[in-house]
Structure 1
Amino acid sequence: MPDPLLLGIDLGAGSLKSTVIDGAGKVHGAASAAVETLAPHPGFSEQDPLGWRTAMIDTLSQLWRQGIDPARIGGIAFTAGAHTHVLEDADGRALRPAIMWNDQRSGRQVAALRQAQGARILELSGNLVSATWTLPQLVWTRENEPELFARIHRVRPAKDWLRRQIDGSDATDITDAWGLMLADAGGSGWSDELCRMAGIDASVLPPIVGSTQVTGTVTAAAAQATGLMAGTPVICGTSDTNAETFCGGMTRAGLGALKLATAGTVSTLTATPSFSEKVIHYPHLVPGHCYTILGTNSCASAHRWLRDTLFGTIGFDGMDRAAQAVPPGSEGLVFHPYLNGERSPYWDPDLRASYVGLGFAHGPGHFVRALYEGIAFSLRDCLEVLRGLDMGFSTARLVGGGTRSELWQQIIADVTGLVIEIPREGDASFGAALIAGLGAGVFADTQAAASVIEVKATRRPNPEAARRYEDGFAIYRETKDALTPVNHRIAAAGREGN
């Protein structure tokens, strides 16, 4: 019999991607399908879970058309963004669209929680409460949709809802449990005290299992709907960033990872997490380790917004070519990527995006390059927090869809001063496939799985560009500070207009 293949399924904010690899890490097939995000009010970000299922079936159909034999698949694993959750009733139906990790509606609830119980939440959960977490989103739902809230029978992280469509399982992993801000960071289970703050009982939360644990097998009904083979092992999986940093090669302390995906993140591995209001911690796939992470809300999503708004006729490749003709610093044009508020290091849902310094000399390429640079500055903002905590690093793996642009890769190196290594495969669906291999026994341990990771390119900082970006970073921060009170007034006016 041929060696088994491994299927990883990742639910992203804009699309769902499925990737099939073998035990040597070779990609045999990949497919993606768009997922729609709803924004019924300013700051809202929601998705219909049934759309996730449709997208998954679409990608599997594409794989079968590519010649992938479903009978060869020896394991399936899932990933998705942390914090996104599905509320189910007693019949297993979704009560409302899933509130996304980048949703900013719970700002008022966050302020109230911080004032009354912020220190206790940090002590219990290991993280600072902000609008990205499920805990304040549940409080928002309780206060604004009380009849719906009373019908909650299950709170299920996104990847676990999707996996349940395949194997019928009822479980989550410890990383996504932390992502709900309802787990006890000092133990291995749910926190009754955090659940009480959210207004729920811990009994509505799924059991917590290992990320690489087999949760079930493909059911007969799922096989009929998807083309998968009934009885194929299904593995729990984890959050997308956990999988991305692992498959990018962040498998030892002192090595960092930067992600250019829907959101942008800066991460590093640590064996001894130090909980504080400045950074976020989650358990990592590498046993006995956590990853420390800071993130900017809008990264590839801002890139896509710019394409859809101004560059629909030339697309991403045309945008990149236009940006290559613009010198470092974009001739004074500065972009702040706060299209949907901001997480690290400001934790401010009322920040807004801006282009600053426009003049007649600026053309289309300036807008693109300034966006690349502005997101790099935002990642530098996050990196400076880690450096201030003596958690900095000199080399980082770059993962996510934004890595396709060699210009953006170099800008990241020049702005951050880091040596940037680009893995051959660095997206979450590839990481999910590695997790499938761990659960199915294709890889003996995480070290064996990490052995198939390859670096395809390295970008080193250009000294001249780096000097220019030091001044640019200072201007980026100064203009952000100057615009913050104006942004707050704009956000308040928008809420009142609603």
Structure 2
Amino acid sequence: MTINYPLHIILILFIIPPCISNSPPPQSRRSSLVLAVDGGTESVRACVFDPLTGTPLTPPCSSPYTLFHPSPGLAEQDPSQWWSATGEACREAVRRAGEEEGYDVKELVRAVCVDTTCCSVVFMDKDEEVVGRSIIWMDQRAAPQCEEIMRRAGGDPALRLNSGGEGPVSAEWFLPKCMWMKENNPEVWESIKTACEYQDFINLKLTGVLVGCTSNAAVRWHCDGDALVSGSDSGLPTGLWRSVGIEELKDKIPRKFVAPGARISTLSPSAAEHLGLTTSCEVIQGGPDAFVGMVGLGCIKPGQLCLITGSSHLHCAVTESPNSEPTFWGPYRGSPLPGIMFAEGGQSSTGSVLNWARRTMFPDMSYKELDALASAVPVGCDGLVCLPTFQGSRTPVTDPDGKGSFIGLTLGHGRAHIWRSIMEGVALGTLDCVSGLRSGGHAASEIVVAGGAARSQLWLQMHADAANARIVCTEFGDAPLLGGAILASVGAGVWGSVEEAVGRMVKVDRVVEPKEENVGKYEKLFGAYKELAKSVRPGVRMLKDIRGGDGGGGRISPSLLSADWANMEREIRECEGCGGHVERLHCDVFDGVEIKDPLAMTFGPKMIRDIRKRTRLKIDVHLVAVDPIRYVDPMGDAGADCLIVQYESFDGDESLRRCLEEIKKRGMERGVSVAPKTPIERLGGLLREGIVDVVDVLTVEPCFAAQEIQLGCLEKVKSVKREFPKVRVMVDGGVNEDTIKEVRRSGADVIVSGSFVFKNAGGVKEGVRKLINVAA
């Protein structure tokens, strides 16, 4: 049967539906979205993705925060700024995505995943209030603690990722920073309930739940990430913590660890409002920015190598081999994902050096203009080489004290040479790191690159030519953000596995092949780069005492002869609490025979060994004994850093020379002490031979405490510093508030003080503070 509708009804059927709602047809609306957040060194960035295609709806939105450098080598940030910036970036990303789509998208955002910088350490009290600023990843203050870790725990199974337990350990990492806090701020350390990372802090703010990240723990906490996934404490390095005297760290870290891609919780109401989302949004575990970036580059299978660029460079080789070498870090179990291992190389300062150079030397030029400038300069910069280790070195040589340099500058070089030399220096550093990985069996014929370097075709070509490897760039070059989107999509159930999500969301954009004519040039340049890097290290260490602190020389060395021997560990902790003003302990070892007074006999090698186990400070041993050469091996075995022998204990320069040679063989610094009655000229020959590292000028008679200083002896200090400025000179005896100014004016590098420091009514810290303030 046919039904005939009036014409006006037919028109209504066609006209009314579009007028009922302004919404687009249902098929044009996306079914779900995810939000990826990247907490970097200088800002937070956020981006909304379609998890079905890996397509960002808009460019990332960014919100900056402040990077504080209280003094050279230190770097801090305010965690409250992280949280504020996270909210600003996320709200803007959601708003822009809504504008792009033409409707409010916040209901469609099913999951959020955050990555952050690694080893940006946060301390919180019992109320989860942050204590001080975060000591961020690039901070190098914990270098002494790294030495202490290797000294007290070298060979520990938890250190297998450091050359099979032989080290070194980086000052960037979590453990040395916690040790620094305990040793330099013991009262603050006692008040700290939680020690965690930027990653953990942000997830706590998002959910109200404190969890650790297995990837962070595997890579920078000396943990077994796979064991932590199962909830087992066996993944924690409790033996290592016990060895270095910080066993209580177990009670300060998060109780639970969650793997990247796994669910933590949903957004709390306050966090949902802060981000512009809903409380139904899932929070999925992310991880360290670089290792989430590995996922975003698709580097999750053995044989793949990726390069994450930004303020620093990270070189990550996924591997099946557990082999470790001195030239790289790892392999790490359970990172970037459970069941995976990767080995790592790294450069501490790369993009940050370019940022520094542009800010200080090229403020009027864009990066594009600078690329054009550098393109006009030939490979090798006409003999100019930059060592870009401005914030120390990670691999293949771990050196937290490393500093940058330009070598080969002439009046013929211009701004273009300087800029290109930095770019080439970073590329050569990449070759150095990749070579270290290759030597350990973690090789790859191509390198997948993400980050800032991918925006410069010239810099990519330099990396390809220097490493003699194909460079692959993905379509969406911001790997950490895409990696976060991949993890969020898996956590939200859009994809069944990370492998499946990577196959759908990661796409190759372009490939840069090495230019054969340049490979040989960079190989030759690399030889010079390696030699120069090696040759400048001793000079850089000599400069260390000139930078920062109390102005360089005149640091205090407390003499343990005046300490309370029944409470020696407490006295040592007091010395450690004096910060940079105290770097060494002075230990007088007298046998009571050489000076013919049995009452002057003091402690021996066993005491030195016990002191060594309990402190990171350098130990100077002043030895007054018959036949001092007998004590060289015992003192070396005990852990002395410098052995100072008494000039008057020898029957001539030849026997003293033999003793100094033995001291050098044991790896200790060679010191000679001269009594008040001995003319300093007696040491002239040995000093000119360069076989004396330290001169200890006694300004009191040896072996007895609480004597008055003999100020005339300070002329010896001036004489040595005038003729031998590189020799470290210490003044030993009679130093107090009344004499410190004269001692400081003499040019002494180290000032030994015993009675004044240890007998001070206000304690050791107060005694040292008084000396420093008076001397300033």
Normalising to structure 1: TM-score of the pair?
A: 0.96
2:381 match: 330
Aligned AA (1:41): S
CA contact (8 A) 2:238 2:247 kept: no
- SS across alignment from 1:362: coil
1:281-309 deviations in Å (ceiling 9; x for gaps) = 33334542111111010011111111111
CA contact (8 A) 1:45 1:102 kept: yes
- SS across alignment from 2:371: helix
Choose which of 57, 80, 85 in structure 2 pairs with 1:28. Answer: 57
Q: In the alignment, is residue 423 of structure 1 matched against residue 474 of structure 2?
A: yes
Q: Rg larger in 1 or in 2?
A: 2
Deviation at 1:90, TM superposition (A): 0.3
Deviation at 1:192, TM superposition (A): 2.3
Q: In the alignment, is residue 344 of structure 1 matched against residue 374 of structure 2?
A: no
Choose which of 241, 252, 273 in structure 2 pairs with 1:204. Answer: 252
- SS across alignment from 1:66: helix
Q: In the alignment, is residue 269 of structure 1 matched against residue 348 of structure 2?
A: no
CA contact (8 A) 2:226 2:338 kept: no
Aligned AA (1:20): V
Choose which of 298, 303, 307 in structure 2 pairs with 1:249. Answer: 298
Mean Cα displacement is larger for which, 253-262 or 274-283? Answer: 274-283
Q: Give me the whole-angstrom Cα distance separating, in 2, the residues matched to 1:223 and 1:181.
A: 31
1:134-180 deviations in Å (ceiling 9; x for gaps) = 11111111111111110111112111211221111211221112244
Q: Give me the whole-angstrom Cα distance separating, in 2, the residues matched to 1:367 and 1:22.
A: 43
CA contact (8 A) 1:298 1:337 kept: yes
Structure 1 residues 200 and 37: alpha-carbon distance in aligned structure 2, compared to 1, 3 A threshold: farther
Q: In the alignment, is residue 475 of structure 1 matched against residue 504 of structure 2?
A: no
Mean Cα displacement is larger for which, 59-68 or 149-158? Answer: 59-68
Choose which of 139, 152, 162 in structure 2 pairs with 1:103. Answer: 139
2:263 match: 214
Q: Give me the whole-angstrom Cα distance separating, in 1, the residues matched to 2:285 and 2:261.
A: 6
Deviation at 1:477, TM superposition (A): 1.1
Q: Give me the whole-angstrom Cα distance separating, in 1, the residues matched to 2:238 and 2:274.
A: 38
Aligned AA (2:188): L
Q: Give me the whole-angstrom Cα distance separating, in 2, the residues matched to 1:470 and 1:482.
A: 19
Choose which of 197, 201, 205 in structure 2 pairs with 1:161. Answer: 201
Aligned AA (2:199): K
CA contact (8 A) 1:6 1:74 kept: yes
Q: Percent identity?
A: 27
Where structure 2 has 5 or more consecutive residues not aligned to the other structure, the ranges are: 1-28, 99-104, 229-234, 553-776
1:48 match: 78
1:236 match: 285
Q: Give me the whole-angstrom Cα distance separating, in 2, the residues matched to 1:124 and 1:461.
A: 35
1:192 match: 238
- RMSD, aligned CA: 1.8
Deviation at 1:347, TM superposition (A): 0.9
Aligned AA (1:379): T
Q: Give me the whole-angstrom Cα distance separating, in 2, the residues matched to 1:342 and 1:125.
A: 17
Q: In the alignment, is residue 86 of structure 1 matched against residue 122 of structure 2?
A: yes
Deviation at 1:271, TM superposition (A): 2.5
CA contact (8 A) 2:225 2:338 kept: no
CA contact (8 A) 1:167 1:219 kept: yes
Structure 1 residues 255 and 280: alpha-carbon distance in aligned structure 2, compared to 1, 3 A threshold: same
- SS across alignment from 1:414: helix
Deviation at 1:231, TM superposition (A): 2.0
Aligned AA (2:413): H
1:185-235 deviations in Å (ceiling 9; x for gaps) = 683332322343335241322111221111111111112223121221111
1:341-372 deviations in Å (ceiling 9; x for gaps) = 11111111121101111123322222221111
CA contact (8 A) 2:160 2:324 kept: no
Q: In the alignment, is residue 372 of structure 1 matched against residue 372 of structure 2?
A: no
Deviation at 1:8, TM superposition (A): 0.9
1:404-428 deviations in Å (ceiling 9; x for gaps) = 0000000000000011101112331
**Which residues of 2 match residues 446-461 of structure 1 at below 5 A?**
446-451=498-503, 452-461=505-514
Q: Give me the whole-angstrom Cα distance separating, in 2, the residues matched to 1:195 and 1:168.
A: 28
Aligned AA (1:435): L
CA contact (8 A) 2:215 2:225 kept: no
CA contact (8 A) 1:124 1:185 kept: no
1:372-404 deviations in Å (ceiling 9; x for gaps) = 110011111111111111211111101112210
Q: Give me the whole-angstrom Cα distance separating, in 2, the residues matched to 1:418 and 1:144.
A: 46
Where structure 1 has 5 or more consecutive residues not aligned to the other structure, the ranges are: none
Equivalences, count: 498
2:724 match: none
**Which residues of 2 match residues 437-448 of structure 1 at below 5 A?**
437-448=489-500
- SS across alignment from 1:67: helix
**Which residues of 2 match residues 143-158 of structure 1 at below 5 A?**
143-158=183-198
1:113 match: 149
Mean Cα displacement is larger for which, 325-334 or 292-301? Answer: 325-334
Q: Give me the whole-angstrom Cα distance separating, in 2, the residues matched to 1:470 and 1:124.
A: 32
Q: Give me the whole-angstrom Cα distance separating, in 2, the residues matched to 1:125 and 1:461.
A: 32
Aligned AA (1:28): L
Mean Cα displacement is larger for which, 186-195 or 288-297? Answer: 186-195
Q: Which has the higher contact order (CA 8 A, sep 6+)?
A: 1
1:62 match: 92
Q: Give me the whole-angstrom Cα distance separating, in 2, the residues matched to 1:253 and 1:34.
A: 36
Q: In the alignment, is residue 358 of structure 1 matched against residue 409 of structure 2?
A: yes
Choose which of 480, 491, 494 in structure 1 pairs with 2:547. Answer: 494
2:215 match: 175
